[in-house]
Amino acid sequence: MKKFLLVLMSLMMLALAVGCGGGEKKTAEQPKVLKVGTEPTFAPFEFQEKDSKDFVGFDMDLIRAVGKQLNMKVEVQNMGFDALIPALNAGNIDVAVAGMSITPDRQKAVDMSDPYYVSGLTIVVNKDNNAVKGLKDLEGKGIAVQIGTTGAEKAGSVKGAKVKTFNTNAEVFLELKNKGVDAVIIDKPVAEYYLVKGGKDTAKLVGETMEAESYGMSLKKGSPLTAQINKALSDLKKNGEYDKIYEKWFGSKAPAEKK
């Protein structure tokens, strides 16, 4: 009887081992998860749909297309813009996709993909403000910006400016509307989208686009995914998928200089 039990037990263990082995194989075949971090108050690049709270926008479509190329399942997490790079370094997310401009400082802290969109900064003021025509006119004035952005950096370079930083761009635009500041410094395509979506009733763009900036996806230094994402981006630009996504969000064909 004892012997029988022993045999039975070893058989069961064997079955368990085989079962586990099979299980492992199965997970290897399932798409791996690509953990994406974003700050979703940056329409039309990333924002949340009103009712479903789904993450939508140009960046979201692009990273989902990249995920498809890499056979990875994209999962998006909402976090503060200034929390994205720390989250990459802590390994909490694999990639930050947040209209993040490629800058030398960021390239020191993280890996950045090849550029996928050419952008630039602009100034937004209230419609009734005729005193501000450019950056120089903002000296000593109040400027609202999002924390950790290139817009915040630009505002900080204006002599005597009183810079107010906010966690979200929703708060930034609200502060302008409430006349808590004289101006906002933000990415031009985001300012334009804001105006089209109703902001034009109270606000307007002024001045020339300040220096060009290109958006890149950020990854932890040395991540093996950087090269894979670059390859996927280049494939999507070649196979027309990038153009489709561009047209969906910007309503026109992607000019070569925007890619």
Q: Please report, as ranges, the residues that interact with ligand GLN according to CB under 6 A.
A: 39, 42, 81, 98-101, 146, 149-150, 187, 213
Residue among 88 and 98 whose Cβ is closer to ligand GLN: 98
> Which amino acid is residue 113, in one-letter code?
S
Name the minimum Å distance from CB 181 to ligand GLN. Answer: 17
Q: Helix, strand, or coil here: 123?
A: strand
Name the minimum Å distance from CB 86 to ligand GLN. Answer: 15
Query: What is the C-alpha radius of gyration for the chain, rounded to an integer number of angstroms?
Result: 24
Residue among 122 and 150 whose Cβ is closer to ligand GLN: 150
> Both tokens of residue 78?
């909402």
Give the count of alpha carbons within 13 A of 28, CB side only: 6
Name the minimum Å distance from CB 155 to ligand GLN. Answer: 12
Q: Helix, strand, or coil here: 47?
A: strand
Residue among 67 and 151 whose Cβ is closer to ligand GLN: 151
Residue among 129 and 149 whose Cβ is closer to ligand GLN: 149
Is 186 in contact with 151 (CB distance < 8 Å)? yes
Strand partners, 183: 125, 143
Is 60 in contact with 43 (CB distance < 8 Å)? no
Name the minimum Å distance from CB 163 to ligand GLN. Answer: 14
Name the minimum Å distance from CB 208 to ligand GLN. Answer: 17
Name the minimum Å distance from CB 187 to ligand GLN. Answer: 5
**Angle between helix 225-238 and helix 241-250 axes, rounded to 10 deg:** 80
> Both tokens of residue 117?
């969109």
Kindly list the strands in the beta sheet with 218-219, ordered across the sheet, starting from the edge strand earlier in the chain: 72-78, 32-38, 95-96, 218-219, 111-112
Q: Helix, strand, or coil here: 56?
A: strand
> Which amino acid is residue 221, in one-letter code?
K
Residue among 100 and 184 whose Cβ is closer to ligand GLN: 100
Q: By Cβ distance, which residue is nearest to ligand GLN?
A: 149
Residue among 81 and 246 whose Cβ is closer to ligand GLN: 81
Name the minimum Å distance from CB 221 to ligand GLN. Answer: 18
Residue among 101 and 165 whose Cβ is closer to ligand GLN: 101
